Amino acid sequence: MRRLNVRPAQIDECIQKSMFAFSVKPQNPELQPGELLLLQLVKTEANRLGKLRSRIDFALVFDHIEPDHDGMMSRLHWPKENRTWPWIVYGSATVPTIPFSLESLDLSMDYDGQTNPRSIDPRDERLIMPYIQWTLAEVPMPTLQLVPASQVAQTFGQERTLAAIYNHDRIAILHEVSRKTVMVEQFTRNQFLADSLKSYYENRCQICGKDFQPEYGIGFSETHHVQYLAQGGRDVSENIVVICPNHHRIIHATNAHFNRHILTYEYPNGLREPLVRPDHFVKTPQFSKP
Ligand SMILES: [Zn+2]
């Protein structure tokens, strides 16, 4: 595992293409396929953005590295940087993290400084791994997930969980742009995104607030895609509601309409039900304020 310093102006391309650029090819040891590269906002920019405690939101999974002899790839991918790099890293995936900073963890050494990339000690990797949200990745690897999606809010708190869900959404939306050539339509839903949202709401219905826990002793809820995936809806949080089974059935039975402007379900008979808990449609995570 390594940490990379990255500036906000560069990061969208890193997330979207799972790419990064180096001035020097990392040696001793060389990068290994599958190795995680933590995208850390440079300190001055993190400070400016109020993200000193959440400098890391994403990690790349290293695949291979290639020289950029004539600077063509550098200019193509980071045109505003007005410079080129001799080495380009290609990742196999971008993985969202629970937002965190290395400085906030009880690590064995200081990973600050300009060195890029900086190797992370294996002892410290173990402390960092729970923050990597493999199950929210586009190709989930649940076996590597240390905290199950259904417990993520109970472990890291609601604000950080919502921020990790938004990190998932940012990757999904950026990747969509580059995937217009996909020929076969696939309506894959990420079960772990659904479970993370249920965890955030503690399985309470966003429409009526129904909580099964007190009466039945278990949390129970369902997720519903506002715009069906088969009709072009995205598998991102802004297209998902967490609801009780009654509301799920009645929304389908009446073909109720979700009015996004007022966050209200509107039924054909005129009944309107505003969300009692609209959080993930309206919130901006506040945890990052220093
Ligand atoms: Zn309900």
Give 154-170 pLDDT, tens digit per residue.
999 999 999 999 999 99
Q: Do 32 and 87 have their domain in common? A: yes
Q: Give domain status of residue 52, yes or no.
A: yes
In order of 9, 141, 174, the CA distances from 189 in angstroms are 30, 14, 17
Q: Do 11 and 133 have their domain in common? A: yes
Q: Give domain status of residue 160, yes or no.
A: no
Average pLDDT in the chain: 89
Banded pLDDT at 285 (limits 50, 70, 90): low
**Does 290 score more than 70 pLDDT?**
no
Whole-angstrom distance, CA of residue 243 vs CA of residue 205: 4
Q: Break the chain down into helix, strand, coil percent, rounded to 5.
A: 35, 20, 40
Percent of residues, the chain, with pLDDT higher than 70: 94
Q: Is 276 left (phi over 0), alpha (psi -120 to 50) or beta?
A: alpha
Q: Do 20 and 106 have their domain in common? A: yes
Can you say how many angstroms the Cα of residue 7 is from the centroid of all Cα atoms in its chain?
A: 18
**Does 181 score more than 90 pLDDT?**
no
Q: Which residues surround ligand 1, an ion (CB under 5 A)?
A: 205, 207-208, 210, 244, 247
Q: Do 251 and 185 have their domain in common? A: yes
Interval between CA 96 and ligand 1 midpoint (Å): 30
**Of the candidates 146, 162, 193, which is a domain's last residue?**
146
Query: Domain span at residue 232?
Result: 175-282
CA atoms within 13 A on the CB side of 218: 3
Interval between CA 231 and ligand 1 midpoint (Å): 24
Give residue-wise pLDDT tens across range 186-243: 556 788 899 999 999 999 999 999 999 999 999 999 999 999 887 888 889 999 999 9
Whole-angstrom distance, CA of residue 289 vs CA of residue 58: 18
Interval between CA 232 and ligand 1 midpoint (Å): 25
Q: Do 42 and 124 have their domain in common? A: yes
CA-based end-to-end distance of the chain: 26
